[in-house]
Amino acid sequence: MQEDVSLVARALKNSDAYALIVEKYEAPLLRYILRISNITREEGEDLLQNVFLKSYQNLNDFDRSLKFSSWIYRIAHNEVISAWRKKSARAEEVNLENAEAAQILASTLEIPAAIDQKILVESVRSILTKIPQKYREVLILRFLEEKDYSEISDILRRPMGSVATLVHRAKKSFELAARETDLQKFI
């Protein structure tokens, strides 16, 4: 966290130092954007570029009592929402990059690891598509991005108690949707 604060201070003095922030957060933010939206990688990269430009313009608004990662994830979250508004459509299909991500989410349902990976990925993708966006995003933040409740609270700008409720409801919703997929026999 201290490292990020010092990077921000350096970037405020010299824009070249901002490259270090971009390099550090490029991969996780792109993965997050692709996970919570249904855009292509190219569109995701364009969106990511906007995220970094907005973050640079608002560096002086970075609240040092927060983690920098929460702050920049928040900007990414807003950019995705804003992109949805422009397209007037929300994610209809979820980008799940690999079996590992699917396994992590499936593990919340205690599904055996021995299941066919292709079925698992397809089923988890289908489940994520079915559940409401607010649940999908909170599951991704909690289990794939491995954010704690406090970070999720800062990213989604919701009270911590409300985040805990949201995660609980999201798991229930995920489980309910899983019963309508090929995973039902494993639950």
Partner 1 sequence: MQKLSEKILAKIKSENISPREKWIFLVKNYGIWVLAILGIVLAGVFVGNIISDLHSAEWDIMHRFPGGKPNFLFHTIPFLWLFGIASAFTFTFFLLRKTKHGYRFGILAISGTILIVSSIAGVALLSTPLPPKFREFRMQNFPPSFEASEWNNPSEGFLFGEILEVGEKILILNAFDESIWEVDVSEARIPPLLKLKEKLKVRVIGEQISDGKFRADFVKPEISREILRKIQKNENERKFNLPAY
Q: What single-letter amino acid sits at 48?
A: L
Based on CB atoms, which residue is closest to partner 1, 8 or 105?
A: 8
Scanning 52-60, 91-99, 107-115, 121-129 for contacts with partner 1 by CB under 8 A, the matching segment is 52-60
Q: For the CA atoms of 152, 157, 159, 164, what is the dihedral angle to 10 degrees?
A: -30
At its nearest, how many Å lie between partner 1 and the CB of residue 166?
A: 13
Half-sphere exposure of 5 (CA within 13 A, CB side): 7
> Between 18-36 and 68-87, two packed helices, what is the crossing angle to 10 degrees?
50
Angle in degrees, CA 157, 147, 8, rounded to 5: 75
Instruction: Restricting to residues 32-51, name those near partner 1 by CB under 8 A.
Output: 45, 48-49
CA distance 121 to 105: 10
Identify the residue among 1, 19, 176, 187 touching partner 1 (CB under 8 A): 19
Minimum distance of partner 1 from residue 26's CB (angstroms): 5
Q: Which is nearer to partner 1, 141 or 177 (CB)?
A: 141
Q: How many residues does the chain have?
A: 187
- In the complex, which residues of this chain contact partner 1 (CB under 8 A)? 12, 15-16, 18-19, 22-23, 26, 45, 48-49, 52-53, 56-61, 63, 65, 153, 157-162
